[in-house]
């Protein structure tokens, strides 16, 4: 259950994620540990060089491009996708992506809420 301001901001971010992506694939989870958040994306069948992660204009964009289809195999059943994809997540301005790792078919992206800068300004009254 979401109980604090940070989690409320994350939920706002997650709502934007849901609206920004119309296709289910690739499947993903978002979880929190201490003050860090993690986005895990299941990408079985892809290699590290076939995946890119970019942050551009407030969007986290994950792209998968299969370079070599497995045409030399005579499939009886093919359940692991080899499709190209692009998944875009709208980031709240308070969210900062700080890491990405691909291991054993799982893309893990770390992000956190930027510290709130407390600034004050005195406006001269004329």
CA–CA gap between residue 48 and residue 77 (Å, rounded): 25
Portion of the chain with pLDDT greater than 90, in percent? 33
pLDDT digits (tens, 9 = 90+) for 32-62: 888 788 999 999 889 999 999 999 988 899 9
CA–CA gap between residue 113 and residue 105 (Å, rounded): 26
Mean pLDDT score across all residues of the chain: 79
Least-confidence region, from 6-20, 74-88, 89-103, 105-119: 6-20
**Of residues 65 and 82, which shows the higher confidence score?**
65
CA–CA gap between residue 58 and residue 10 (Å, rounded): 15
Measure CA 39 to chain center: 5
SS3 102: strand
2 close to 73: Cβ distance less than 8 angstroms: no
CA–CA gap between residue 36 and residue 31 (Å, rounded): 9
**Residue 87 per-residue DSSP state:** E
pLDDT at 18 over 80: no
Please give the pLDDT value at position 107. 97
In the chain, what are the domain boundaries?
Answer: 5-113
Q: How many residues does the chain have?
A: 126
CATH label, 5-113, candidates 3.40.50.300, 2.60.40.790, 2.40.50.140, 3.30.365.10? 2.60.40.790
Please give the pLDDT value at position 68. 67
């Amino acid at each position: 259950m979401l109980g604090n301001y940070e989690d409320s901001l994350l939920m706002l971010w997650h709502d934007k994620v849901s609206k920004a992506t119309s296709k289910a694939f690739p499947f993903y989870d978002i979880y929190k540990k201490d003050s860090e958040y993690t986005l895990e994306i299941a990408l079985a069948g892809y290699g590290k060089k076939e995946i890119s992660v970019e942050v551009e204009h407030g969007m986290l964009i994950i792209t998968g491009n299969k370079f070599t289809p497995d045409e030399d195999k005579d499939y009886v059943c093919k359940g692991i996708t080899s499709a190209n994809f692009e998944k875009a997540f709208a980031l709240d301005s308070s969210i900062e992506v700080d890491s990405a790792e691909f291991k054993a078919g799982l893309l893990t992206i770390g992000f956190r809420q930027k510290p709130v800068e407390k600034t004050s300004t005195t406006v001269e009254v004329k």
